[in-house]
Amino acid sequence: MPTGILHLHLALAIVLFVLLLAGRVPRLRAVSAVTALLLLVTGAYNFMTRMQGPPPGWHMWIGIKTLLALHVIAVVLLMARGTQPPEKAARNRKVALITGGIAMAIGLYFSNFAR
């Protein structure tokens, strides 16, 4: 199985986290939106190709991970519009970083330790 898409997915996640940490999402609207959408596409592709023989109990955790990842993407797309007051943007950035970290932790657990 080629791992190029997996590495692209991980690189996109890192880019999105750096954009969120630096607070550059509103300034780099196009980059943020394209990164979020590519992250969604590569995540769906990785899910379809890598989940052969899933470990027991994976349904619930992958569902939670998917919902958290969609939340992060929605927040990034809303922040990219640049119409939020600064205090709301700061709160959204913090929430996106927390939920993104949880989603990454669930994904790393199931891809590395649960098999």
Give the residue extent of every domain in the chain.
4-113
Nearest-5° Cα angle at 17, 13 to 18: 120
> Helix or strand or coil: residue 56?
coil
For the residues 23-36, what does the mean pLDDT come to?
A: 89
The 10 Å Cβ neighbour count of residue 114 is: 14
For the residues 90-107, what does the mean pLDDT come to?
A: 92
| pTM for the model | 0.81
Query: Is the confidence at residue 65, as pLDDT, over 50?
Result: yes
Helices (H), strands (E): how many in the chain?
4, 0
| 46-57 per-residue burial string, b: 16 or more CB within 10 A, e: under 16 | beeeeeeeeeee
State the chain's mean pLDDT as an integer. Answer: 87
Give the alpha-carbon dihedral of 87, 90, 95, 101, to 10 degrees.
-170
Residues counted in the chain = 115
